Structure 1
């Protein structure tokens, strides 16, 4: 008997009803949950697994919290289970590998991205606020803005009707600090640490001009008044071509009188170090509290 084409994802009952044998399912399928399989020939990334889960979820379910955040492009760790949001009901779907949450959602709180129903950017930000520390919440919010999953107006609307929702106080406190110009999680974290200190708020993507007034480069973060720049050096900066471009950038900045502070992954757990070094740099350039 010829094997049946089962596609990338299928349930046991559907596969058997189409004539697939137990042996074909055992050989082809990777079990995601009770009675749910993903073909072994596809890459089991998060989006692919979520499309498979849709086969057994209620039609009004949406992927939410950390799962939605990852699918929206936010820089948070992928949760060990897939998180799903459903309207309140007597009996919630219960399956190993799923974490189900009840929510009272408006129509605008759910969007379809790549064929998947997800909580919207503002709803996802609000849900994350209940569990993420403020610095990480700002980094996630920056990413949602950068990816155009929300804007200031849509976030304000969602938070306005979120009275007594868990996490809303933190969400409202962090919302004014969000900025979609932040290019990465490390930049967002550094900006947050500086913003809650007694130092001036740093500028983002600060232009650096030569003596003729031409923009020759820009700094991730900085203080143009005192010509102090802050740069985060990720792994990509170890690439030889990128390293050469960085040398040019830092030389141009130094030639125009900029003092450049460079930070790396080792500093992401040390906000005190980042703030102290920035304070010393600003003080050396004439800043006074």
Structure 2
């Protein structure tokens, strides 16, 4: 008997009902959970795995929390278990590899992404507020804004009806600090540390002008009044083309009288260092703390 053609995702019951033999399932499928398989011919990405989970979940299930964050394009790393959100019901699905959260979702709290039901940017932000530290929550909110998965109005509406749910206080505090102009998680972290310090609030994506008023560069963060720029440099800055562009950009900024502070990955665990070096730079340019 020839093997039966299998889809990319399938259940054990459906495969056996189509006449697929045990040895073919064992050879072809990667087992996600009891009775649920993804073909070895499919990629092992999150979208594929979530698509597979829809075969055993209730129709109203929505992928949420860290799983939603990843599907919505934030830099957050999802937990190993797929997280879904369901409305209250007498019996909740229980499977290895799945974490179920109960929420009283409204229609606007669920959107479609990659053909999947996913909690909206606002709902995801609120759910993660109970889990993430403030700096990471701001970075997540920035990413949602940057990716078009969240607006200030949407977040305001969701938080207005959040009542006393867990995490809502942190969500409201961090909502006021979000900026869709931050281009990466590290930039968001640097900005959070500076905004929550006693230093002036930095500007985002600050234009650097030459003597004729032409924009010759821009800074990730900065203080135009004091001509102090704060830059994060990831690994891509070491690439030859990018390195050459950076040299040119920093030369132009220096020629315009800018003092550039450059931070790297090693500084992401040292907020005090970032704040103190920025403080010293501002003091050198004439800033003085109030009081």
SS of the aligned residue for 1:220 comes to strand
Deviation at 1:80, TM superposition (A): 1.4
Alignment of 1:31-180 (within 5 A): 31-180=31-180
Deviation at 1:208, TM superposition (A): 0.4
Write the deviation string for residues 24-71 of structure 1: whole angstroms up to 9, x where unpaired.
101100000000000011111111100000000000000000000011
Partner of 2:4: 4
Partner of 2:202: 202
Deviation at 1:2, TM superposition (A): 2.1
Deviating 4+ runs (over 3 angstroms) = none
2:253 & 2:122 partners in 1: Cα distance?
38
1:121 & 1:147 partners in 2: Cα distance?
10
2:116 & 2:237 partners in 1: Cα distance?
35
Unpaired stretches in structure 1, ≥5 consecutive residues: none
Deviation at 1:194, TM superposition (A): 0.4
Write the deviation string for residues 224-274 of structure 1: whole angstroms up to 9, x where unpaired.
000000110100011011000000000000000000000000000000000
* TM-score, structure 1 normalization: 0.99
Partner of 1:186: 186
1:248 & 1:176 partners in 2: Cα distance?
35
Count of residues in correspondence between the two structures: 289
Determine whether 1:13 maps to 2:7.
no
Q: CA RMSD in A?
A: 0.5
Write the deviation string for residues 137-186 of structure 1: whole angstroms up to 9, x where unpaired.
00000000001111000000000000111000000000010001100000
SS of the aligned residue for 1:101 comes to strand
Partner of 1:30: 30
SS of the aligned residue for 1:177 comes to coil
Partner of 1:259: 259
2:250 & 2:103 partners in 1: Cα distance?
49
Write the deviation string for residues 93-133 of structure 1: whole angstroms up to 9, x where unpaired.
00000000000000000001110000000000000000000
Unpaired stretches in structure 2, ≥5 consecutive residues: none
1:247 & 1:199 partners in 2: Cα distance?
28
